[in-house]
């Protein structure tokens, strides 16, 4: 991922001329933001319920991972997704770990 981001930013900045009084750091930051949006935006829509049913038919677990720093809402969103799956008569198992 880091290499893909680096290559994308480098390609977008290669040969680029900056206007007077333009900060290099803000130009690099803008290129990085554009690259991240392009890399992280799904190319097709995701139907989680369809994917869960497909995994269930193959008798395989469907795994969702919530990753992030403290206080960004991982547990809240995990609970919402678990509740939604339960409403659709899916079985839910939650496992947690921490680095403390």
List, for residues 51-81, the tens digit of each pLDDT value.
999 999 999 999 999 998 889 999 999 999 9
Indicate the pLDDT class of residue 23, thresholds 50, 70 and 90. confident
Nearest CA among 67, 60, 62 for reference residue 85: 62
Is the pLDDT score of 98 beyond 90?
A: no
What pLDDT, on a 0 to 100 scale, did the predictor assign at position 39? 86
10 vs 2: CA distance, rounded Å: 12
Q: What percentage of residues in the chain have a pLDDT greater than 90?
A: 51
38 vs 33: CA distance, rounded Å: 9
What pLDDT, on a 0 to 100 scale, did the predictor assign at position 50? 94
What pLDDT, on a 0 to 100 scale, did the predictor assign at position 94? 94
pTM equals 0.60
């Amino acid at each position: 991922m880091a290499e893909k981001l680096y290559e994308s930013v480098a390609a977008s900045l290669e040969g680029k001329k900056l206007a007077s009084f333009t900060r290099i750091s803000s130009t690099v930051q803008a290129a990085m933001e554009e690259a991240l949006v392009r890399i992280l935006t799904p190319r097709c829509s995701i139907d989680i319920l369809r994917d869960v049913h497909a995994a269930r038919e193959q008798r395989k677990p469907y795994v969702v991972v919530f990753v992030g720093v403290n206080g960004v809402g991982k547990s809240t969103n995990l609970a919402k997704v678990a509740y939604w799956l339960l409403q659709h008569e899916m079985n839910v198992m939650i496992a947690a770990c921490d680095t403390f």
